[in-house]
């Protein structure tokens, strides 16, 4: 009986040590584009790599599928992901324009919006996560319903209707929903 108690105590101690080691903080990680699996995608004109950051933990969970299925082109990956340990690592990069998008908690997003006087814009809620864009130039977005990726589109001309009865509009956004080329190619091969 005593040896059984010692065995269980040893197992519990080992489990505690392993769980503490798994929770240890690491410095911010940037995924290596060479490690990103190549997914066949239809070629478009001059693809651009989107720089996306998220906080480790629940905030980044909305990006897991996009990270694992990130499409690439002949010119390289379409996404460059950065996982940060704290909001202090993401905030300066987003304000300086070193990031195109970031997944951050809503309270930080409100602070960023106010600090930058609207330079950081809300794209919307995708897969239960609020998405924010540091690109304030007029452009649209495409949201993939399968993998949750948000892709910048070129400017889309929109004629605003007469709104004098309701107020004065200062901006509008155009968002298209569907399936991205990476997900369409994956469906064709499966």
> Does 157 or 62 have the greater pLDDT score?
157
Average pLDDT over residues 23-32: 53
* Torsion sign over Cα 24, 30, 33, 38: positive
Distances (CA, A) of 38 to 88, 147, 155: 32, 15, 28
- pLDDT for residue 27 is more than 70: no
Q: Pick the most confident of 29-33, 114-118, 167-171.
A: 167-171
- Measured CA distances, 116 to 41, 89, 95, 125 (Å): 36, 17, 7, 21
pLDDT at 20: 61
Determine the average pLDDT of the residues in 12-27: 64
Q: How confident is the model at residue 99 (pLDDT cuts 50, 70, 90)?
A: confident
Token code pair at residue 177: 């929903």
43 pLDDT band (50/70/90 cuts)? Answer: very low
Categorize the per-residue pLDDT at 178 as very low, low, confident or very high, splitting at 50, 70 and 90.
very high
* Tokens, residue 12: 């519990």
Helices (H), 53-156: 64-68, 87-96, 106-115
**Starting at the edge strand that comes first in sequence, how are the strands of the sheet with 79-84 ordered?**
29-30, 79-84, 50-55, 101-103, 129-133, 121-126
For residue 67, name the pLDDT band (cuts at 50, 70, 90): confident
Tell me if the pTM is above 0.75.
no
């Amino acid at each position: 009986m005593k040896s059984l108690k010692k065995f269980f105590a040893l197992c519990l101690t080992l489990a505690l040590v392993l769980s503490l080691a798994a929770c240890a903080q690491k410095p911010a990680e940037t995924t290596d584009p060479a490690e990103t699996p190549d997914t066949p995608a239809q070629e478009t004109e001059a693809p651009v790599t989107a720089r996306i950051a998220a906080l480790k933990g629940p905030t980044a969970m909305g990006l897991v599928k996009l990270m694992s299925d990130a499409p690439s082109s002949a010119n390289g990956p379409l996404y460059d992901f950065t996982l940060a340990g704290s909001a202090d690592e993401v905030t300066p990069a987003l304000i300086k324009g070193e990031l195109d998008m970031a997944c951050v908690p809503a309270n930080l997003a409100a602070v960023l919006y106010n600090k930058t006087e609207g330079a950081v814009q809300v794209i919307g809620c995708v897969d239960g996560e609020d998405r924010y864009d540091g690109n304030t130039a007029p452009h649209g977005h495409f949201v993939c319903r399968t993998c949750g990726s948000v892709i910048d589109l070129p400017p889309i001309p929109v004629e605003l209707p007469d709104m004098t009865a309701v107020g004065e509009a200062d901006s509008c956004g155009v968002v298209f929903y569907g399936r991205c080329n990476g997900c369409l190619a994956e469906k064709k091969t499966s």
